[in-house]
Amino acid sequence: QVQVVESGGGLVQPGGSLRLSCTASANIFRISTMGWYRQALGKQRELVATITSGGGTNYGMSVRGRFTISRDNTKNTTYLQMNSLKLEDTAVYYCNARFSPSNSYWGQGTQVTVSS
């Protein structure tokens, strides 16, 4: 069983920044893609950003140009740098570690609240 643990959420004012971290209990080189997703209250879970083992990235339309995903293979960790945060970025952010299309693991989620 692979454990995926997120950290770094919290309360921030509009325009501020936060960095989320996600650590997997498996060799990150075995993980095909690591990704961040979010779910706001009353809404469906949506893609935020993904990064492949080769470093290829993909971003949701609403966060492009503001968020950056990266990974540190020496620490089995993926980061999500969030800048210029908006009220609508408020959500629970989940990390996903995918080994194959049929084999992935989710973290427990971390709350990000953007409020003045």
Q: Which tens digits make up the pLDDT trace of 15-61?
A: 999 999 999 987 767 788 999 999 999 999 999 999 998 899 999 99
User: What residues contact residue 54 under an 8 Å CB cut-off, 6+ apart?
Assistant: none
Q: Which tens digits make up the pLDDT trace of 49-79?
A: 999 988 999 999 999 999 999 998 888 899 9
Span of 31-40, 70-79, 84-93, 106-115 with lowest mean pLDDT: 70-79
What's the residue count for the chain?
116
Residue whose C-alpha is closest to residue 26's, from 106, 97, 101: 97
Cα 53 to Cα 69: distance, rounded to the nearest angstrom: 12
54 φ, ψ to 5°? -90, 0
| Residue 3 confidence class, pLDDT cut points 50, 70, 90 | very high
Amino acid residing at 46: E
